Amino acid sequence: MARVGLSGERLVAAAAELADEVGFENVSLSALARRFGVKDASLYSHVRGLQELRTRVALLAGGEMIDRIAAEVAGRAGKDALRAFADAYRSYALAHPGRYAATQIRVDPALAADSPAMRRTAEITYGMLRGYGLSEPDLTDAVRLLRGTFHGYCALEATGGFNAARDVRASWDKAVDALHTALTHWPRETPEASGTPGASATSETPEEGPAA
């Protein structure tokens, strides 16, 4: 009875739920099999193994996260877009810790290139940053700055890493203000100076965006 309706999509969705409950690192095929009341071997008709399952959870979570970010950023520009992007990122990371952890694993470049979620993440992230007048190689540098700041802050907040009396949300808002200032006054670099003439964020393997 438990086997009825079992599919790859259901397994991935259940694995994402399990990740939020017990931590992404604790998701296993055995735990997932127990959730469906089947033997481990039954899952191999739908996923080739744990690595594929982890990758599919990462792509699922990345799609959910960028959909939330896109909805908040739509129609905004400049600082308003940056704040909407940042707040949606933080909200997802705190609400779905296991899914969020999945978005931080490295996905095979070939799979990333075929993933609508990964492409959408790059398009929205780079598009927002182009609003600050940035082009390559500065776009990639700016993406890395945002990703490092957002991920570092959310990871520390989730584990109770901020102990001072200062309100955590107030510090987050100040960090976003600081990022806006940095992007507005970005120390621009020419492609020639970087040694990557003609570099473009629309290449086949762009730097992962903050949500990827």
Amino acid occupying residue 31: A
d(CA 204, CA 11): 30
Give the pLDDT confidence score for residue 207 in this predicted structure: 61
SS3 call for 199: coil
Q: Residue 205 CA to chain centroid, in angstroms?
A: 16
Give the pLDDT confidence score for residue 204 in this predicted structure: 38
Given pLDDT bands bounded at 50, 70 and 90, which one contains residue 209? Answer: low
Give the pLDDT confidence score for residue 112 in this predicted structure: 79
Is this model's pTM higher than 0.95 or not? no
Given pLDDT bands bounded at 50, 70 and 90, which one contains residue 191? Answer: low
Give the pLDDT confidence score for residue 4 in this predicted structure: 52
Closest listed residue to residue 80, CA positions, set 208, 172, 177: 177
Task: Using the predicted structure, report yes or no on whether residue 35 has a pLDDT greater than 90.
Answer: yes
Mean pLDDT of all residues in the chain? 89
**Tens of pLDDT, residues 88-147:** 999 999 999 999 999 999 988 887 778 899 899 999 999 999 999 999 999 999 999 999
Amino acid occupying residue 50: L
d(CA 118, CA 107): 10
* Angle, helix 50-73 to helix 78-95, in steps of 10 degrees: 140
Give the pLDDT confidence score for residue 189 in this predicted structure: 78
Give the pLDDT confidence score for residue 142 in this predicted structure: 97
